[in-house]
Structure 1
Amino acid sequence: MNRTELVVRTIAETAIANEKYFGDLDAVVGDGDFGYSLARGFEKLLDGWDDLDRTDSGTFLKRCGMTIASRIGGTSGPLWGTAFLRAGAAAVDPLDRARVVTMLRAAIDGIKARGQSDLGDKTLLDALVPFTDFLEKSDDISGAAQAARQAAEATSSMVAKRGRAAYTGERSRGSVDAGAMAVAVIAERISDVWQGAGS
């Protein structure tokens, strides 16, 4: 399994393993289906894992994106699917840190456009952007994961401006954003797996 496959499989397995946790976070101000939707979508990805086109990293990521977009329910499917599709479009093998950062920037731009959201709106971007910013300056993936965790925890002081949580206004303050925390948890797991694989 190459590094791209390792990262995607880790994302999928982490989303499935944290279904209840992510759902509980979402239930505070959302409808609570985030964990369920994410887990079901990534289960579908793993179900068809062996049949995914592995011609190159870009093709693989785009195939993953199409599966995710069609299988994850609610607003999460289009956002996560778009992130994979945009990252895949920016992928050029062999991948290095600079190229990965470019792919993450492309994913971020896709999420911003699709979700009509930006940094500070209390979404997954509030963890994904700091993670990417850190990775751009350093190859310390553990440090990047810590940056994502700190940023995700900081969303508790924000008022949601996008998604179902936005309807709750000030009531959304005081709880972390489920999408941002999902990015942080996934980043931490990727860090563990990456280092275990001998980066």
Structure 2
Amino acid sequence: MSSTTGSDLEFVVGTIARTAVDNEREFGELDAVVGDGDFGYSLARGFEIVLADWDSLDRSSPSAFLKKVALVISKRVGGTSGPLWGTAFLRAAGAVNDRSELTGEDTVAMLRAAAEGIKVRGQSDLGDKTLLDALIPMTDALENEMKSGGGPAVGAAGLARVAATAARSAAEATTSMLARRGRPSYTGERSIGSPDAGAMAIAVMAERVADEWAVRN
């Protein structure tokens, strides 16, 4: 798999941030079905700060950049989302602590580390109806595509689309799940019948990355 640049990482993080801000209402409405409805608001407020501080973020290495993003999110995102998303970015930074350039394998390692961090911090796992139910299948699909030899053939834009497609399918599959963690779990069987807001956020973010990567100059 060819190496990716720091600008690619910045593109992905910037796209995630803009997606969180642009979809504040939609994410909040999803969360309100069985949660307290503050997910969209909390996520948007944190990523607004990331975008506001964008030009001053440390770019000395991929890890330093991700650590700074993690710090901003941890401080600015309210509720349970701050610790979870902050941990995800921090663990991703740790996975590439000695890297100056990133490869596709590094991307998978960052996503795996982020998921493991969320598991520990949120005491959750695959099947609990959380964002992990989109993040982990998305990472699996990305890794499988690269292992099958498809990476060089489809390129970065193609890999982004593979990830987005897997994330969307997995997020929609949370509709039939019973929530076992977070506020939605308090509603018991009422949590069945609507998708998890965090999982859908992962899907929407992945789709926007894929859409915008396809038209990058």
TM-score (norm 2): 0.89
**1:145 is the counterpart of 2:164:** yes
Alpha-carbon distance in 1 for matches of 2:112, 2:169:
20
Alpha-carbon shift at residue 197 of structure 1 (Å): 2.1
Counterpart of 2:171, as a letter, is A
**1:124 is the counterpart of 2:131:** yes
**1:33 is the counterpart of 2:38:** yes
Q: Deviations over 1:23-75 (max 9, x none)?
A: 00000000000000000000011111111111011100011001001100000
Within a 5 Å distance, the mapping from 1:18-97 to structure 2 comes to: 18-91=23-96, 92-97=99-104
The SS at the match of 1:2 is helix
Alpha-carbon distance in 1 for matches of 2:182, 2:59:
34
Alpha-carbon distance in 1 for matches of 2:100, 2:195:
36
Residue in 1 that maps onto 2:143: 136
- Corresponding pairs, count: 198
Runs ≥4 in structure 1, deviation > 3 angstroms? none
Within a 5 Å distance, the mapping from 1:165-180 to structure 2 comes to: 165-180=184-199
TM-score (norm 1): 0.97
Counterpart of 1:109, as a letter, is E
Alpha-carbon distance in 2 for matches of 1:69, 1:161:
24
Alpha-carbon shift at residue 143 of structure 1 (Å): 1.7
Counterpart of 1:15, as a letter, is A
Gaps of 5+ in 1: none
Sequence identity, in percent?
Answer: 63
Residue in 2 that maps onto 1:100: 107
Residue in 1 that maps onto 2:174: 155
Alpha-carbon shift at residue 148 of structure 1 (Å): 0.5
Alpha-carbon distance in 1 for matches of 2:209, 2:67:
20
**Higher CA-based Rg:** 2
Gaps of 5+ in 2: 1-5, 146-150, 152-158
Alpha-carbon shift at residue 196 of structure 1 (Å): 1.9
Alpha-carbon shift at residue 195 of structure 1 (Å): 2.2
RMSD, aligned CA: 1.0
130-139 vs 68-77, greater mean Cα deviation: 130-139
The SS at the match of 1:196 is coil
The SS at the match of 2:194 is coil
